[in-house]
Copies of this chain bind each other. A is one copy, B any other.
Amino acid sequence: MDVRAAPPDHSECRAVADVLTRIGDKWTVMVVGALSKGRMRYSEIFRQVGGVSQRMLTLTLKGLERDGLVSRTVYPTIPPRVEYELTPRGRSLIEPLHALMTWAHANRAGIDACRQDFDRRA
């Protein structure tokens, strides 16, 4: 089976790669993971995704919203309340991402061992 769903057309290839760099980055995966549990407000996501800075969380959410993967709802109260939720397209991303995270979790230890081996030999 050919993993590269795209033909040897380079423009197609770059387009897919472009999408991948967007949805494949660390924080995006974590945020989608958090939102897969349901609608959530900014501060909740912030707590769920450990280690992210406010700046990166905002940028990641904005990127996801721009791509139509996340919807943003503002309640004009004081203090403000903003909730985020996966769109249908965003939810369609859960399954492939889940497969990746499962793989990562299952292979983490083996990879670490390989790295130490490799580094010791070098």
Q: Which residues of A contact B (CB under 8 A)?
A: 1-6, 8, 10, 12-17, 19-21, 23-26, 29-30, 32-34, 36-37, 48, 50-51, 65-69, 89, 92-105, 107-108, 110-111, 113-115, 118-119
For residue A29, which residue of chain B has the nearest CB?
Answer: B20
Nearest-CB distance from A121 to chain B (Å)? 10
Cα distance A86–B10 in the bound complex, in angstroms: 23
Q: What copy number does this chain have within its complex?
A: 2
Point out the residues of chain B lying under 8 angstroms from A14, CB to CB.
50-51
Q: Which of B29, B34, B67 contacts A17 (CB 8 A)?
A: B29
For residue A111, which residue of chain B has the nearest CB?
Answer: B67
Q: List 25 A-B contacts (CB under 8 A).
A: A1-B36, A2-B37, A3-B36, A3-B97, A4-B30, A4-B101, A5-B98, A6-B101, A8-B48, A12-B105, A13-B51, A16-B105, A17-B29, A19-B104, A21-B25, A24-B29, A65-B118, A67-B115, A68-B110, A68-B114, A68-B118, A69-B111, A96-B96, A96-B102, A97-B100
